[in-house]
Structure 1
Amino acid sequence: MTEYGRGQGPAPWHPEDPLYGDQGWGQQTGDGQTVHGGQGQYYPQQPYQQHQPQQAYGGDWGTGQQPQQPQHPGYGQQMYDQQGYDGSQQYPQGGWDTTGQAPAQAQYPYAADPADPYGTGQNAAYNGEQPDYYDTPGAYPPPEPPGRRRDPEPETDWDPGPDQGEHAFFAGGDDGDEDDEYERDGGRGARRGRGGRKPKKRRSGCACLVLTVIFAAGVGGVGYFGYQFYQDRFASPPDWSGDGNGETVTVVIAKNSGGYAIGRQLKEAGVVESVDAFVAAQTSNPKGKSIQAGAYLLQKHMSAASAVDLLLSPKSRANLTIPEGTRNAKIYKMIDDRLKVPEGTTAKAAKKDYKKLGLPDWALDHPHTKDPLEGFLFPSSYGVAKGQKPDAVLKDMVSRATDMYDELGVEQKAKSLGLDGPWQLITVASLAQAEGTSHDDFRKMAEVVYNRLKPNNPQTYGRLEFDSTYNYVKNQSKINLSLTELRKDDNPYNTYYHKGLPPGPIGNPGEDALKGALDPTHDGWYYFISMDGKTSKFTKTNAEHQKLVDEWNAQQNKD
């Protein structure tokens, strides 16, 4: 039977240790029992309870009874059982009862041992073995008090192998330092075996090769992006020199395009070598930001500065310009010529796909119209070049018209002018555009239309009697029309025959004609005539108008 305090391992606290003097942890009595001589420490997680005098720790080990002891860890007994500490273990006085509960006895707190700087109060376990405090193999033992003798490290017959001394990463050792920590502590508390350290794992050459490749790829990637960063920040962007290689290309620049958008289009067409070079050239040119939307004739492999200069020059413009009041039939032919397609191609596309070109809802489903797109090919300048499709060009024109109509508010203002809707307002604007000879005429011409539309007017009794409506349906532009012919032709667009407005617009009004239709004069005009073909004269009665007609006829006879 092993006595209390005498384990098989070396005693951690020797009575004759000069660092501790007479503060040893036990003195033997004559009967082989050990009396607690020094001062212990209460367990830090247990509350203080009533203090009572210290008693000797002893008992007859032969009876199978454990000596009476306080609830305090580490005095010749395992602190915890092998199942680990769960907070329910109690340490009774006078033995353990069958219920597992400690008798209600007074607890014995102890002051901290001055020689134990960490306040652990832990001693060597019974039989010389290190206790497993939390039943976890990886738990570390409590720190050693100062001055404690260190046991020599056990020698093993394990050979570290030929890789000894190399870095663990390349030598194939374990990644962690846990084994080294246990080795420094003399193997105490380690659960990996007591006969020696577990041999180190060796990495395969394939794994090292993969890691080396990854490392090299990372270095290469950093180098590449570093080079790119240098090129972007400090080096000049790639750029060609000269005015081009003689190969002409057409570039269509969209509305509201910025420098980078234009640069990308030019680079895709092969005009400039890089977008950055174009943006730099545009920024350095004082007029660089005044580049307009449209079609341009340029050359491939131009320097960025030369491309900017040519875009600012009228010589490079390849736009299709639609004059105000132009009819759709003429616009279709203009588009065919620019696209280099057979005549009639655009007209067929318009007739087939007009509902897919972006017309507003109020512009659809008007019966008896000659062309549902009339009035929606807005007069402006468009980039039209060979290679484009007719429907794409038409869609651009319709979009420009609807944007203008929305901007002017034709849908909201039509009813206030006595019209059924915006469709009739566009028709009035087209009449003013066709009959007017100058921008100053449009407001007065719009008033003539509105006055004649009144069914009870004493001058025309609801008839417009505009030559332009008859010319539209006949696709002509005559000025000397026979009144007898006009009054006999039953055509929806013949305003001499039918009262009110024609079925739809008779051309494409410009912005000034639209504004005139939205804001007519209120002077009582009913008649107009152009004496020189440049200006119009307006009158309020038929008698005044007839005098001007007679004057004009007399002038024509002299010529």
Structure 2
Amino acid sequence: MSRGVRKPRPWYKPRKSRRASRWALAVIVSLLLLAVLSARAGYKRLTGYPERPGQGSSDPITVTVPAGASFSEVLALLEEHEVIAPDEARAFKLFVLHRGAASKVTAGEHEFRGDMTPTQILDELQRRQPVQERRVTIPEGKHSVQIAQILAEAGLGGGEAQLLAAMRDPELLARLDIEGPSAEGYLFPDTYKFSTSASAAQIVERMVKRHHQVYAELRRGHSEGARSLAETLGWGDPEIVIMASLIEKETSQGAERPRIASVFINRLRFKSFKPKLLQTDPTIIYGCTVPERRSEACQQFEGRIRRIHLRDKDNPYNTYTHEGLPPGPISNPGRDALEAVLAPEKSRYLYFVSRNDGTHKFSKSVQEHEAAVNKYILGGAKGDGSVQK
């Protein structure tokens, strides 16, 4: 019986290098020791750093921290105003992060000195600011440019330019569920108290949210009216706001608003009324004064409507040359104007003309309207807001 062939054994046995392992272990231990010593030294420096005075001037330094500013932006302001030296910025940042205070900086004016300790600087950054508010009233029927002027004159929102930019900011409009190029029509007229540190976007957002709140209440209370407008004219919320903006500009008489709403709605609903022209002067004025791009005729507008403006087809807001509603609101309507659209008076009126005393004469036929025009227009000064065929 044959036996298997055995493999030959090596004549030597390899040994592991203990010297190399020892060297590797020594290097690792040394690195760890250096890291610990470095961290300990850094910790000692950091623990001593907060009470170390700065090397700057002892003169007062005022720094205004904007609302919503990030800590990096605040740190840049401190460097810019020489509250913190550039070579100390990283240490101050680590100190603030170690304290977990980066998000606790308050907006507003802060008083510093260049010789303050980091602890004193951080305490001042976290100091509760006295709330400064401005009370401002936005009247019904003002358009966006007028509202921006009112707010800017009250020292709010950073000025007219910033307020208008916020009113036209696509991202903000999308977040506020506004379809259109601006917040026109949704800046609810009311009396507000705004913080002087509130940004333009915060102011616009609050006014728009107030509109949504009031409009939602009205729509719930007049759901049948909203349904009727949707069925007969295909209107949704944007069209209701546009119509309310027209009514707001046509009269200051609250009792007349539902009747004026009925005139405009009748013109669009009645099949016998053609063309579907609303023929209201405030739409021309808006198109010639507010949009950034204006027609050639509007560039010649000097505050009074002339034939060139009545016949202007290049003004998209001209309801004498374009049927139906204008492309967007022409003012910011209040509660009564919005409610007038949702609950218009039931009438057969198709015309109205100013009596020159703040009220209007309403007519159902062309003949009746022409008689009123002869009496109130040809017999005296033409009143704003007359509706003529």
Matching residue of 1:327: 143
Cα distance in 2, alignment partners of residues 338 and 414 from structure 1: 37
Matching residue of 2:197: 387
Matching residue of 1:503: 327
* Contact 2:313-2:322 at 8 Å conserved across structures: no
Aligned ranges 1:139-150 → 2 under 5 Å: none
Matching residue of 1:466: 280
Cα distance in 2, alignment partners of residues 500 and 544 from structure 1: 23
For the residue of structure 1 that corresponds to 2:311, the secondary structure is helix
Pair 1:431-2:234 in alignment: no
In percent, how many aligned pairs have the same letter? 31
In the TM superposition, what is the alpha-carbon distance from 1:526 to its structure 2 partner?
0.6
Cα deviation, 1:362-383, whole Å, max 9, x if unaligned, reads: x32x4xxxx4311110010111
In the TM superposition, what is the alpha-carbon distance from 1:428 to its structure 2 partner?
1.2
Shift in alpha-carbon separation, 1:357–1:461, aligned structure 2, 3 A: closer
In structure 2, what residue type is equivalent to 1:506?
I
Cα distance in 2, alignment partners of residues 395 and 481 from structure 1: 34
Cα deviation, 1:333-390, whole Å, max 9, x if unaligned, reads: 2222223534312111222255357523xx32x4xxxx43111100101112432211
Larger Rg: 1
Cα distance in 2, alignment partners of residues 482 and 345 from structure 1: 34
Cα deviation, 1:273-320, whole Å, max 9, x if unaligned, reads: xxxxxxxxxxxxxxxxxxxxxxxxxxx8xxxxxxxxxxxxxxx99411
Pair 1:402-2:215 in alignment: no
Stretches of structure 2 that go unaligned for 5 or more consecutive residues are 1-106, 109-129, 291-300, 383-389
In structure 2, what residue type is equivalent to 1:427?
I
In structure 1, what residue type is equivalent to 2:306?
S
Q: 2:311 aligns with which of 477, 487, 496?
A: 487
* Contact 2:245-2:332 at 8 Å conserved across structures: yes
Cα distance in 2, alignment partners of residues 352 and 557 from structure 1: 42
Stretches of structure 1 that go unaligned for 5 or more consecutive residues are 1-267, 270-299, 301-315
Matching residue of 1:376: 186
Pair 1:516-2:340 in alignment: yes
- Segment of structure 1 superposing worse, 334-343 or 519-528: 334-343
Matching residue of 2:4: none
Aligned ranges 1:29-178 → 2 under 5 Å: none
Aligned ranges 1:229-248 → 2 under 5 Å: none
* Contact 1:495-1:502 at 8 Å conserved across structures: yes
For the residue of structure 1 that corresponds to 2:160, the secondary structure is coil
**TM-score, normalising length: structure 1:** 0.39
* Contact 1:384-1:393 at 8 Å conserved across structures: yes
Cα distance in 1, alignment partners of residues 303 and 270 from structure 2: 27
* Contact 1:339-1:384 at 8 Å conserved across structures: no
In structure 2, what residue type is equivalent to 1:406?
A
Q: 1:422 aligns with which of 229, 233, 237?
A: 237
Which is richer in helix?
2
Matching residue of 1:311: none
Cα distance in 2, alignment partners of residues 374 and 510 from structure 1: 13
Matching residue of 2:295: none
Name the structure, 1 or 2, with higher relative contact order (CA <8 Å, separation 6+): 2
For the residue of structure 2 that corresponds to 1:538, the secondary structure is strand
Cα deviation, 1:171-225, whole Å, max 9, x if unaligned, reads: xxxxxxxxxxxxxxxxxxxxxxxxxxxxxxxxxxxxxxxxxxxxxxxxxxxxxxx
Q: 2:164 aligns with which of 347, 354, 362?
A: 347
**TM-score, normalising length: structure 2:** 0.55
In the TM superposition, what is the alpha-carbon distance from 1:463 to its structure 2 partner?
1.0
Matching residue of 2:63: none
